[in-house]
């Protein structure tokens, strides 16, 4: 048996081959030698690689499909029409569909086509609304009223009454479905004349037309009080006139007839301006005023209210207080105060104060000092008078000067004439 050496002490018999990358010839025969086998890491196939490849193929197939189909879209929808029968899954060119009116609608006259065809370009042939709303029964205006709105399916009718009448029944009717037809959802209302029952009688009073059983809309009743049997008269407290403003509805509650008497509004240190009297009944009005040296705290006008009290309450007259700055300074010397409006103080010793004592103005008292505006006005008047006198004097002087000038001219003219006469006399003697 022939053997060969393959390296690293490995003998290989002839006719056998080891895993390796190269065959070497030996001394006799052929032998296959191989290096020591090395182990390398194996690459495991990802489970996602095959699926990714399949997905890519599907996407490519979808993209390669034709973009247009050979069928029409779903049938068009209309407000007044619906598809007759069941809808198909697909509609091929040449297929026809039929429409019918929806409930509450009817065919338009002249009749329009209700058939649509799937065309060769996979679109539906144009189709118009072929139905219109059904009308509800015609409603007439109620007596003493009117109705507004339309009478078609889905609309409303509004009822209104004339002044002096009120609506009895529903104000609005709706035109709704009634089986295969349409009808109003309620009975039409009517207008009834507004009447009021007699108003309530009041103690110690009465109202006009009290003999009537009913009062019409806007009719007026007037309340008044009966004469009082006592020393004080009755006062009408509340609204004297009531108006029938609605069905059995008056404009306000009836008034009251009762004695309302307020106490005498005594005002200490004050007096009445208006509203003089010994008794003060409901709504009596008094105007008050305080004496000089007092000011009014509260309202000067008061009214006798329904609760026998003055509204607002009777005011007070408060004595005016003089601030310390208004007091004249005291001195051990005798001081005389002149009676002039400008308070000056003179001392027996001859010493005069540099300034007059301040005097504050009290409420409702005239100021003792002359206002600056009055002083300024006096100076202006004086200046105007002086300038007027100067102007008149200058005018008179000018006039006198003109008179003297004319007089001198006349005298000069006369003397010249005399001289001329004297000069001509000797010649005439010769």
Asked if residue 167 has pLDDT above 80, the reply is yes
> What Cα–Cα distance (Å) separates residue 25 from each residue in 19, 302, 304, 349?
16, 149, 150, 168
Give a yes or no: residue 122 inside a domain: yes
Asked if residue 367 has pLDDT above 60, the reply is no
Domain check: are 173 and 123 in the same one? no
pTM over 0.75: no
Last residue of a domain, one of 232, 258, 284: 258
> What Cα–Cα distance (Å) separates residue 281 from each residue in 224, 258, 316?
16, 10, 22
Spatial distance between the Cα atoms of 277 and 262, rounded to a whole number of angstroms: 12
If one counts the domains in the chain, the total is 5
Of the candidates 292, 286, 278, 282, the one whose C-alpha atom is nearest the C-alpha of residue 315 is 286
Domain check: are 268 and 290 in the same one? yes
Domain check: are 173 and 202 in the same one? no
Asked if residue 337 has pLDDT above 80, the reply is no
Give a yes or no: residue 310 inside a domain: yes
Share of the chain above pLDDT 90, in %: 55
Last residue of a domain, one of 258, 279, 307: 258
Domain carrying residue 231: 195-258
The CATH number assigned to the domain holding 115 equals: 2.10.70.10
Asked if residue 19 has pLDDT above 80, the reply is no
Give a yes or no: residue 388 inside a domain: no
- pLDDT for the residue numbered 52: 63
Give a yes or no: residue 70 inside a domain: no
- pLDDT for the residue numbered 42: 56
Q: Is 25 helix (H, G, I), strand (E, B) or coil?
A: strand
pLDDT digits (tens, 9 = 90+) for 285-320: 999 999 999 999 999 999 999 999 999 999 999 999
- pLDDT for the residue numbered 53: 62
Give a yes or no: residue 232 inside a domain: yes
The rounded mean pLDDT for the chain is: 78
Last residue of a domain, one of 235, 258, 281: 258
Give a yes or no: residue 390 inside a domain: no
Asked if residue 65 has pLDDT above 60, the reply is no
Domain check: are 267 and 241 in the same one? no
Q: In this predicted model, which residue has the larger pLDDT, 170 or 359?
A: 170
Q: In the numeric block, which tokens belong to residue 60?
A: 């490519």
Decide: 36 and 8 in contact? Cβ < 8 Å.
Answer: yes
Give the pLDDT mean for 386-400. 89
Other CB atoms within 10 Å distance of the CB of residue 195? 17
User: Can you spell out the DSSP letters for 164-225?
Assistant: TEEEES-SEEEEEEETTEEEESS---EEEE-EEPPPPP-TTEEETTTT-S-EETT-EEEEEE
Spatial distance between the Cα atoms of 14 and 21, rounded to a whole number of angstroms: 17
Contact partners, residue 21, CB within 8 Å, separation at least 6: 34, 35
Give the pLDDT mean for 133-154. 96
Domain check: are 182 and 235 in the same one? no
pLDDT digits (tens, 9 = 90+) for 179-193: 989 999 999 999 999
Give a yes or no: residue 408 inside a domain: no
Domain check: are 253 and 265 in the same one? no
Q: In the numeric block, which tokens belong to residue 133?
A: 């709303």
Beta strands of 291-347 (E only): which ranges? Answer: 294-297, 301-304, 310-311, 316-319, 335-336, 346-347
Spatial distance between the Cα atoms of 374 and 368, rounded to a whole number of angstroms: 13
Give the pLDDT mean for 84-113. 92
Q: In the numeric block, which tokens belong to residue 79?
A: 């407000």
Asked if residue 120 has pLDDT above 50, the reply is yes
């Amino acid at each position: 048996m022939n053997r060969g050496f393959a390296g690293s002490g490995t003998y290989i018999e002839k006719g056998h081959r080891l895993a390796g990358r190269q065959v070497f010839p030996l001394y006799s025969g052929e032998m296959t030698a191989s290096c020591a086998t090395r182990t390398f890491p194996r690459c495991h196939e990802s489970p996602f690689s095959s699926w990714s490849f399949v997905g890519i193929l599907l996407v490519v197939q979808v993209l390669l499909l034709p973009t247009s189909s050979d069928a029409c879209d779903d049938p068009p929808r209309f407000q007044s029409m619906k598809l007759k029968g069941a809808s198909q899954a697909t509609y091929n060119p040449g297929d026809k569909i039929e429409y019918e009116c929806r409930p509450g609608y009817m065919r338009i006259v002249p009749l329009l086509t209700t058939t649509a065809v799937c065309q060769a370009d996979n679109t539906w042939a144009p189709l118009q609304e072929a139905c219109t709303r059904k009308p509800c029964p015609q409603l007439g205006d109620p007596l003493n009223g009117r109705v507004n709105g339309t009478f078609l399916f889905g609309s409303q009718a509004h009822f209104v009454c004339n002044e002096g009448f009120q609506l009895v029944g529903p104000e609005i009717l709706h035109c709704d479905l009634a089986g295969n037809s349409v009808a109003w959802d309620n009975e039409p209302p009517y207008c009834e004349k507004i009447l009021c029952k007699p108003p309530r009688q009041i103690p110690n009073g009465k109202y006009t037309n009290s003999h009537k059983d009913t009062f019409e809309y806007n009719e007026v009743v007037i309340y008044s009080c009966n004469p009082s049997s006592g020393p004080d008269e009755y006062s009408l407290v509340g609204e004297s006139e009531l108006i029938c403003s609605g069905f059995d509805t008056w404009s306000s509650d009836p008034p009251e007839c009762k004695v309302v008497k307020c106490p005498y509004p005594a005002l200490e240190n004050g007096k009445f301006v208006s509203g003089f009297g010994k008794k003060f009944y409901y709504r009596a009005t008094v105007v008050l005023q305080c004496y000089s040296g007092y000011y009014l705290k509260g309202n000067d006008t008061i009214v006798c209210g329904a609760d026998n009290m003055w509204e607002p309450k009777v005011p007070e007259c408060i004595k005016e207080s003089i601030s310390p700055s208004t007091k004249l300074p005291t001195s051990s010397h005798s001081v005389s105060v002149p009676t002039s409006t400008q308070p000056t103080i003179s001392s027996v010793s001859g010493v005069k104060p540099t300034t007059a004592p301040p005097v504050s103005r009290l409420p409702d008292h005239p100021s003792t000092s002359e206002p600056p505006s009055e002083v300024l006005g006096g100076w202006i008047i004086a200046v105007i008078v002086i300038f007027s006198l100067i102007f008149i004097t200058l005018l008179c002087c000018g006039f006198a000067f003109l008179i003297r000038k004319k007089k001198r001219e006349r005298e000069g003219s006369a003397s010249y004439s005399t001289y001329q006469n004297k000069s001509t006399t000797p010649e005439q003697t010769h």
